[in-house]
Amino acid sequence: MTSRTKDMPVFNFDHERGGVTIPLPRDFHYQETLRYLTRSPLECLHQVVDGRVYKALAIGSERVVMEICEENGGGKSGPSSLLVRLNGDVAPTFDTWNTVAAYVTDWLDLRTDLSPFYERTAHDPLIGTLVTALRGLRIVGIPDLFEALCWAIIGQQINLTFAYTLKKRFVERFGTSIQTEAHTYWLFPTPEVIAACTINDLLPLQLTTQKATYILTLAHQMASGTLSKHSLLAQGNFPAIERHLLTLHGIGPWTTHYVLMRCFRDPTAFPIGDAALQNALKQLLHRTQKPPADEIKQLFAPWHGWEAYVTFYLWRSLAT
DNA sequence: GACCAGGGTTAGA
DNA sequence: TCTAACCATGGT
């Protein structure tokens, strides 16, 4: 049985293994995806064990843990798919599977046709080698808007290790979890829970007063319905979403483009002031100084339309 | 101990 | 519009 409606995820039931399979697009590199997902030992919102990805998901009032792994159809270079299974004894409904498949498809960006990106960049003198090495890596998203905004704010102006530490504290203090024999799977805190907090609840995590205030304000706006991913998408185009995000306190150009990239999947999202982006280019250009913003703009000109992917790949170039 | 970190706001020119 | 001061703390 296959669902194949325009905006619906595509998946097939695999009754033998008690899960569903999601067919993979032409360019998909599972191992590079796993490398990205395991980039920090402090990551608390998913886990990778023996090549399988585990992640808790809230579906309405229901909470599940997904297990994702790759299947190679027929071994050689046949069509592959992702096998997704859920924990628990109760058989999930069709709607649950549909939501899970939609989440995975969005999370791993399985719908984007990357061939124009590779045609444009694979032989580029500056990034061709990098792009070819990472070919099939897709931008891992942050589908939840509140999580994307909080993560971006937490990560402002601090190193990634500390950012992960802060996120872990935030999640383990205010989030909910699903316990199994082997692991504890955490869900990101909801805006409602954070909106009920005071600044004094957040400061002990070592968030700055500014960041704590930004997060509290956003939580209130999202809990009250003033701000939502749905309402932003209803603006109809990315520039309109960008303008709206920029009006929010604590959300500047960098955070706006970061969220456009990881949550809204704007392919032209371009956090040009990003320190890691600048460092990746500095390294690639064999410079002693980070290239200035106007030079970065010029460098990116040939890749217009794929700024988000180039940025994501440049970030990966810094991974050891 | 200096310098940097996947920035943003505010005040002042 | 542009710049400088400030936030504030872990990593290296």
Tens-digit pLDDT profile for residues A117-133: 999 999 999 999 999 99
Average pLDDT for residues A97-116, to the nearest whole number? Answer: 98
Q: What is the pLDDT of residue A182?
A: 86
Average pLDDT for residues A83-100, to the nearest whole number? Answer: 93
Q: Which of the nucleotides lies closest to A156 (Cα–C1')?
A: B7
How far, in Å, CA of A297 to CA of A294, rounded?
A: 5
Place of tokens 């483009």: A257
How far, in Å, CA of A25 to CA of A10, rounded?
A: 11
| pLDDT value at A311 more than 80 | yes
- A152: which residues sit within 8 A by CB, 6+ positions away? A251, A254, A255, A258, A259, A262
Average pLDDT for residues A46-54, to the nearest whole number? Answer: 97
Q: A40: Cβ under 7 Å from strand C?
A: no
Q: What are the helix (H) ranges across chain A? A: 30-37, 94-107, 115-121, 128-134, 145-154, 160-174, 191-195, 199-202, 209-224, 229-233, 238-246, 253-262, 275-284, 293-300, 307-317
Q: What is the pLDDT of residue A119?
A: 98
| pLDDT value at A26 more than 90 | yes
Q: A165: Cβ under 7 Å from strand C?
A: yes
Integer-rounded Cα Rg, in Å, for chain A is 20
**Which nucleotides of strand C come closer than 7 angstroms to any CB of the protein?**
7-12
Asked whether A242 and A264 are in contact (CB, 8 A), the reply is no
Asked whether A65 and A87 are in contact (CB, 8 A), the reply is yes
Instruction: Identify which of A233, A200, A232 has the alpha carbon closest to the alpha carbon of residue A216.
Output: A200
Average pLDDT for residues A162-188, to the nearest whole number? Answer: 96
Q: Give the orientation angle of helix A145-154 with respect to helix A253-262, to 10 degrees.
A: 140
- Angle at alpha carbon of residue A22, lines to A184 and A103, rounded to 5°: 50
Q: What is the pLDDT of residue A6?
A: 56
Instruction: Tell me the percentage of chain A whose pLDDT exceeds 90.
Output: 92
Q: Which of the nucleotides lies closest to A312 (Cα–C1')?
A: B6
Q: What is the pLDDT of residue A162?
A: 97
| pLDDT value at A21 more than 50 | yes
Instruction: Identify which of A76, A110, A97 has the alpha carbon closest to the alpha carbon of residue A14.
Output: A97
Q: What is the pLDDT of residue A92?
A: 94
How far, in Å, CA of A275 to CA of A290, rounded?
A: 9
Q: A208: Cβ under 7 Å from strand C?
A: yes
| pLDDT value at A75 more than 80 | no
Q: A209: Cβ under 7 Å from strand C?
A: yes
The catalytic site residues of A sit at 274
How far, in Å, CA of A201 to CA of A174, rounded?
A: 10
List the A27 CA – B2 C1' distance (angstroms).
45
| pLDDT value at A230 more than 80 | yes
* Average pLDDT over chain A, rounded to an integer: 95
| pLDDT value at A178 more than 60 | yes
Tell whether the torsion through CA atoms of A4, A5, A9 and A15 is positive or negative. Answer: negative
Chain centroid to CA A154: how far? 15
| Helix (H) or strand (E) run with residue A85 in it | strand A80-86
pLDDT digits (tens, 9 = 90+) for A245-302: 999 999 999 999 999 999 999 999 999 999 999 999 999 999 999 999 999 999 999 9
Q: What is the pLDDT of residue A158?
A: 96
Residues 210-239 of A with CB under 7 A from strand C: 210
Q: What is the pLDDT of residue A4?
A: 45
**A1 falls in which pLDDT band (50, 70, 90)?**
very low
Q: Is A74 exposed, middle or buried (0-12, 13-18, 19+ CB in 10 A)?
A: exposed
Q: What is the pLDDT of residue A114?
A: 98
